[in-house]
Chain A
């Protein structure tokens, strides 16, 4: 930052938000097919803190950057956890990085899920496939503060019985007396004992009462609307529905323009939105 030192007297200059911080991969965990989880620690040994719902820009040397939600427990100060789906060239290269490799991290970025303002409410989580990853930090935090909330219901859907993300944890949460977990799959082998059908159908069947429920939705933009419709049919109004969305985030700080959604920059005004605040934009095509 030598080049900036001489101007400090004129205008306070910030740390460059476009420069990644180096982290080391200390663990790689294979999840379901095409999905892996990294445990990262800062090479500089410093701290890292974030709130559930935030994301980082992860950089693989020479390959590029991708926006990935943090999927770990924000109370765990030893590492940051990212769960990544192989979707393009950069994530494919990332999937091949071994333990010990270095990656760049910029962040955390974005507006987190609300927690404290929702004390006392029943909570309903609605998600599918990889969408459980961005919600998991919130689920962890809610379970840390379990006595602050009423019912906790999780509706999760995957394509088949072989690709249920974090299946062990879903089982564990279901085993708790204070948490209700509905897992649904699109199809299953004959004789399967669980629920089969869409996530929205699971929401329609969930044991909740609309009046005191706050819902968190983490689905693709396409599947968010059916989820919201199902929630509203259960009496959960738009001002009690929280969604997280995804656009082409490149900078993370509202400077590149790519992730605009109406007047908002998803990277800093989102990715978490209260649905009533974007409802008027949601059905406008190609916005």
Chain B
């Protein structure tokens, strides 16, 4: 419990939860834990059950896709102030890529399996969470569309 009280302000001040209703925040804090990853360490691995997401406080996280027949490919980086992981929100709740620390990463992990149950029971909480995740997913989609356009229209240097 001591740790949770300590994490409360960190969660509340992370840009992802800006403006979150205090009672909802309290429920979320009840599902979270501190996490530190050394350079190269995995936050999660492709194909494993997705039961968490991370608020990145410090450091850079690289998303890598394992495609078979060759080493994994780094496809995106996520900066401090952002979140990593939304597969816990979408069935079948499995990670679609690896996430690795590119340098030391300080983060707060939030138990997605726990939060899913609470969101099911508390639709207002569920709506608050979706309202925050949807723009993140939309922004990543936009980033990828931009890269597709760029790859289709601009030669490799």
Query: Is B48 engaged at the interface, CB distance under 8 Å to the other chain?
Result: no
Given A34-B157, A195-B60, 6 more A-B residue pairs with CB atoms under 8 Å apart are: A187-B73, A195-B77, A196-B74, A204-B139, A222-B154, A226-B149
Considering only residues 186-207 of chain A, those with a C-beta below 8 Å from chain B are 186-201, 204-205
Given contacts A87-B155, A160-B156, A220-B154, whether A188 and B149 have CB atoms under 8 Å apart is no
Given contacts A190-B73, A196-B74, A198-B143, whether A223 and B156 have CB atoms under 8 Å apart is no
Query: Is B122 engaged at the interface, CB distance under 8 Å to the other chain?
Result: no
Query: Is A27 engaged at the interface, CB distance under 8 Å to the other chain?
Result: no
Given contacts A196-B62, A198-B147, A223-B146, whether A129 and B71 have CB atoms under 8 Å apart is no
Q: Are B154 and A128 in contact (CB under 8 A)?
A: yes
Q: Are A191 and B157 in contact (CB under 8 A)?
A: no
Q: How far is the CB of B94 from chain A (nearest CB, A)?
A: 20
Chain B neighbourhood of A141, CB < 8 A: none
Query: Is A163 engaged at the interface, CB distance under 8 Å to the other chain?
Result: yes
Which partner residue on chain A sits nearest B71 by CB separation? A190
Q: Are B154 and A34 in contact (CB under 8 A)?
A: no
Query: Is A151 engaged at the interface, CB distance under 8 Å to the other chain?
Result: no
Q: How far is the CA of A130 from the CA of B100 in the complex (A)?
A: 30
Query: Is A33 engaged at the interface, CB distance under 8 Å to the other chain?
Result: yes
Interface pairs (25), CB distance under 8 Å? A85-B155, A128-B154, A129-B156, A129-B157, A130-B157, A186-B151, A188-B74, A189-B71, A191-B40, A191-B74, A193-B102, A194-B77, A194-B102, A196-B75, A196-B76, A197-B77, A200-B143, A201-B143, A201-B146, A220-B153, A220-B154, A223-B149, A223-B150, A223-B153, A226-B146
User: Which of A160, A186, A194, A205 counts the most chain B CB atoms within 10 A?
Assistant: A186
Q: Are A163 and B71 in contact (CB under 8 A)?
A: no
Interface size on B, residues (CB 8 A): 29
Query: Is B58 engaged at the interface, CB distance under 8 Å to the other chain?
Result: no
Chain A neighbourhood of B146, CB < 8 A: 198, 200-201, 223, 226
Query: Is A35 engaged at the interface, CB distance under 8 Å to the other chain?
Result: yes
Q: Are B155 and A190 in contact (CB under 8 A)?
A: no
**Closest 8 pairs (CB-CB, A-B):** A190-B72, A163-B157, A188-B74, A159-B156, A198-B146, A129-B157, A222-B153, A196-B77
Residues of A with Cβ closer than 8 Å to B?
32-35, 85, 87, 128-130, 158-160, 163, 165, 184, 186-201, 204-205, 220, 222-223, 226
Considering only residues 59-88 of chain B, those with a C-beta below 8 Å from chain A are 60, 62-64, 71-77, 79
Q: Are A192 and B62 in contact (CB under 8 A)?
A: yes
Q: Are B143 and A197 in contact (CB under 8 A)?
A: yes
Q: How far is the CA of A165 from the CA of B62 in the complex (A)?
A: 23
Query: Is B15 engaged at the interface, CB distance under 8 Å to the other chain?
Result: no
Chain A neighbourhood of B144, CB < 8 A: 198
Q: How far is the CA of A188 from the CA of B74 in the complex (A)?
A: 5
Q: Are A159 and B157 in contact (CB under 8 A)?
A: yes
Chain B neighbourhood of A195, CB < 8 A: 60, 77
Chain B neighbourhood of A222, CB < 8 A: 149-150, 153-154
Q: How far is the CA of A222 from the CA of B73 in the complex (A)?
A: 26
Query: Is B126 engaged at the interface, CB distance under 8 Å to the other chain?
Result: no
Query: Is B49 engaged at the interface, CB distance under 8 Å to the other chain?
Result: no
Q: How far is the CA of A197 from the CA of B73 in the complex (A)?
A: 12
Which partner residue on chain A sits nearest B75 by CB separation? A187
